[in-house]
């Protein structure tokens, strides 16, 4: 029997989203228009032209994309999510002895939960389906709960793994306080005990939370701690992440102590590998591009922070060169104080243009999706629309002001516009429908975040 005339002969699936411009972000950068994707058990089972998908599959639910773009959900490759509610407190700190360190020192589990929940709602509404915190959540359970409550993917690791936290006080004093550093490990032994404490999360089938190995980095780790983390990640098959090369002057001072380029040194020591990701890398010399690419080291690019460093001098960003050399590059907000998540593509264009080598719109889209996934070791599961992958995707409105349909990467990944986000799916489940977050009362999430921030500001003496 011909499957076209007999629906019983078709394969069944849970959902088909059809009549869209499907931007797959696969290796061939394919776009299907009019295109469709078919979903079963939370995974993508087909991507292609409408007619082909309709011919092969019979769906329990069909969703008409009405000519809008369907793209993989964006992933924020790096955010200190517990500090999201601290967006506008810096001004209050001016002229006082209160620092961001005091804010972090005072964070309680309910504050971290409120902050992450607010971020999760904002992410979904901006077309993000996941985010990565690099080990700056004091109570990971408080943030992990947000994944199921809101329906977003979260990658996290152990809190503040470092054995030389005091170095931060000398170099980045505005980030620390006694109360904050009191929550850090005091020595190598205490730091090593924290390593791998979150990996149990990876055992949960279909779980939205995944863990990796992370240390704080930026010279706050001894060579012993760095090696222990590198080895544990290698042995357990997860990513190893650390901050590196944020402030160029600090990076240079570190190299002076070492008597060598940090990248060359790590290469000689065998500590560059395809399971390693460095966050920032605002100073990269031409020969280091090749070394990083040869070792397939992932790079998390925080474009706003990078522009700050371009202003301070000493920065040599080479994100376009790294991307083109085959290094996995993901884009990240770090702590989005001066912008919303949907401005990240614009900021990446601005930062790479300021550095003299702009990425193309397609490259920006890749760095927001498959590139970001690769920096946390999830490129086999998410980041593109391909059969076998988890169904994390966004359906945009065809009628949005920027959505001409001529250049989907520009219109959706660079020109930030959360207003064009119609539906967002994570694990094949609708988490945003017609612009509204499905699993929570947005007003209540915002109110809880504001209450947490007000109470915290009062506790550290910023407000009466
Ligand atoms: Zn950071």
Ligand 1 mean position, distance from CA 454 (Å): 24
The mean pLDDT of the chain is 95
Determine the pLDDT at residue 5: 55
In which element (H, E) is residue 38 found? strand 31-40
Ligand 1 mean position, distance from CA 439 (Å): 29
Determine the pLDDT at residue 155: 98
Determine the pLDDT at residue 1: 44
Query: Residue 60 burial by CB count (10 A; 0-12/13-18/19+): exposed, middle or buried?
Result: exposed
What are the boundaries of each domain within the chain? 7-72+385-437, 74-375
Ligand 1 mean position, distance from CA 405 (Å): 35
Determine the pLDDT at residue 6: 62
Identify any residues that bridge with 46 across adjacent strands, giving them in sequence order. 38
Determine the pLDDT at residue 168: 82
Ligand 1 mean position, distance from CA 196 (Å): 20
Determine the pLDDT at residue 8: 61
Q: Which of the residues in the chain have pLDDT under 70?
A: 1-8
Q: Tell me how far the alpha carbon of residue 244 is from its chain's centroid.
A: 17
Q: Yes or no: say if 424 and 430 are a contact pair by the CB < 8 Å rule.
A: yes
For 277-333, what is each residue's pLDDT tens digit?
999 999 999 999 999 999 999 999 999 999 999 989 899 999 999 999 999 999 999
Determine the pLDDT at residue 170: 80
One fold for 7-72+385-437 and 74-375: no
User: Can you identify the CATH homologous superfamily of domain 7-72+385-437?
Assistant: Urease, subunit C, domain 1 (2.30.40.10)
Ligand 1 mean position, distance from CA 138 (Å): 15
Ligand 1 mean position, distance from CA 391 (Å): 28
Task: Report the topology of domain 74-375.
Answer: TIM Barrel (3.20.20)
Spell out the residues 6+ positions from residue 203 whose beta carbon is closer than 8 angstroms to its own. Answer: none
Residue with tokens 């994707």: 37
Q: Tell me how far the alpha carbon of residue 307 is from its chain's centroid.
A: 19
Ligand 1 mean position, distance from CA 333 (Å): 9
Determine the pLDDT at residue 7: 54
Determine the pLDDT at residue 294: 97
Ligand 1 mean position, distance from CA 61 (Å): 41
Token pair belonging to 177 = 């306080």
What is the number of alpha carbons within 13 Å of residue 347 lying toward its C-beta? 23
């Amino acid at each position: 029997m011909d499957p076209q005339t007999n629906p019983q002969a078709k394969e069944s699936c849970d959902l088909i989203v059809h009549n869209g411009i499907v931007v797959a972000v696969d290796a061939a950068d394919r776009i299907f228009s009019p295109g469709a994707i078919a979903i079963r058990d939370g995974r993508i089972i087909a991507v292609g032209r409408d007619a082909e998908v309709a011919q092969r599959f019979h769906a329990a639910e069909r969703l008409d994309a009405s000519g809008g773009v369907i793209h993989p959900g964006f992933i924020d490759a790096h955010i200190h999510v517990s500090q999201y509610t601290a967006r506008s407190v810096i001004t209050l700190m001016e002229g006082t002895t209160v620092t961001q360190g005091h804010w972090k020192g005072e964070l309680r589990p309910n504050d971290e939960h409120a902050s992450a929940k607010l971020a999760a709602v904002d992410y979904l509404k901006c077309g993000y389906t996941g985010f990565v915190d690099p080990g700056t959540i004091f109570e990971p359970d408080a943030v992990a709960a947000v994944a199921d409550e809101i329906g977003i993917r979260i990658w996290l690791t152990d809190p503040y793994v470092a054995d030389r936290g005091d170095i931060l006080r000398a170099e980045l004093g505005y980030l620390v306080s006694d109360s904050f550093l009191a929550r850090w490990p005091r020595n190598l032994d205490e730091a090593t005990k924290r390593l791998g404490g979150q990996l149990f999360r990876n055992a949960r089938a279909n779980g939205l939370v995944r863990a990796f190995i992370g240390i704080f980095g930026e010279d706050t780790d001894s060579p012993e701690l760095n090696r222990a983390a590198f080895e544990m990640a290698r042995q357990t098959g997860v990513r190893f992440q650390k901050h590196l090369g944020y402030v160029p002057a600090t990076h240079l001072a570190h190299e002076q102590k070492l008597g060598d380029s940090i990248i060359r040194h790590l290469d000689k020591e065998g500590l560059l590998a395809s399971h390693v990701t460095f966050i920032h890398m605002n100073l990269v010399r031409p020969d280091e591009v090749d070394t990083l690419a040869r070792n397939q080291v992932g790079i998390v690019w925080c474009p706003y922070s990078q522009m700050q460093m371009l202003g301070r001098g000493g920065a040599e960003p080479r994100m376009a060169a790294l991307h083109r050399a085959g290094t996995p590059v993901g884009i990240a907000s770090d702590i989005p104080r001066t912008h919303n998540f949907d401005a990240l593509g614009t900021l990446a264009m601005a930062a790479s243009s300021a550095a003299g080598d702009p990425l193309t719109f397609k490259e920006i889209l890749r760095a927001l999706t498959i590139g970001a996934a690769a920096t946390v070791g999830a490129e086999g599961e998410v980041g593109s629309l391909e059969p076998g992958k988890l169904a994390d995707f966004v359906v945009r409105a065809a009628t949005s002001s920027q959505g001409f349909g001529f250049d989907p990467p520009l219109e959706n990944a660079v020109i930030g516009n959360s207003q064009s986000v119609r539906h967002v799916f994570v694990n094949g489940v609708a988490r945003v429908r017609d612009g509204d977050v499905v699993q929570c009362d947005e007003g209540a999430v915002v109110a809880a975040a504001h209450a947490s921030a007000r109470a915290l500001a009062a506790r550290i003496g910023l407000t009466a």
